[in-house]
Amino acid sequence: MAPHTAGEHNALTDVPGLRVGHATRIGDGALTGTTVVVPPPGAVVSVDVRGGGPATRDTAALDPRHPAPAVGAITLTGGSAFGLAAAGGVLGWLAEHRPEATSVVPVAALFDLGRGGDFHARPHAELGAEAVRAATGGPVAQGNVGAGTGAVSAEMKGGVGTASAILPDGTVVAALAVLNSHHPAVDPSSGLPYGCALGATSRQGRAWREFSLNALDEAARAAARERLAASTRDRDTRTPLNTVIGVVATSASLDPGAAYCLAGAGQDGLAVAVRPAHGIADGDTVFAVATGTSATGATPALFAAASNAFARAIAHAVLAAESVTTGWGHIAAYRELYPEAG
Q: Domain of 239: which CATH number?
A: 3.60.70.12
Quick count: other Cβ atoms within 10 Å of Cβ 336? 18
Helix (H), strand (E) at residue 96: helix 86-97
CA 64 to chain centre: 22
Strands 324-326 and 329-331: antiparallel
Mean pLDDT calculated for residue range 99-117: 90
Helix (H), strand (E) at residue 269: helix 256-273
Closest CA to 135 of 166, 94, 100, 164: 94
What distance in Å separates the CA atoms of residue 74 and residue 264, rounded to the nearest whole number?
Answer: 17
Closest CA to 309 of 207, 203, 198: 198
Domain extent for 204:
5-341
Where residue 202 falls among pLDDT bands split at 50, 70, 90? confident
Domain count, the chain: 1
Helix (H), strand (E) at residue 311: helix 300-320
pLDDT at residue 197 above 70?
A: yes
Mean pLDDT calculated for residue range 300-315: 98
Contact between 3 and 200 (Cβ < 8 Å): yes
Alpha helices in 167-251 (DSSP H): 218-232
pLDDT at residue 1 above 60?
A: no
Per-residue model confidence (pLDDT) at position 67: 85
- Phi and psi at residue 301, in whole multiples of 5°? -65, -35
Record the pTM. Answer: 0.96
What distance in Å separates the CA atoms of residue 314 and residue 318, rounded to the nearest whole number?
Answer: 6
pLDDT at residue 101 above 90?
A: no
Mean pLDDT calculated for residue range 204-214: 85
Least confident of 58-62, 145-149, 237-241: 237-241
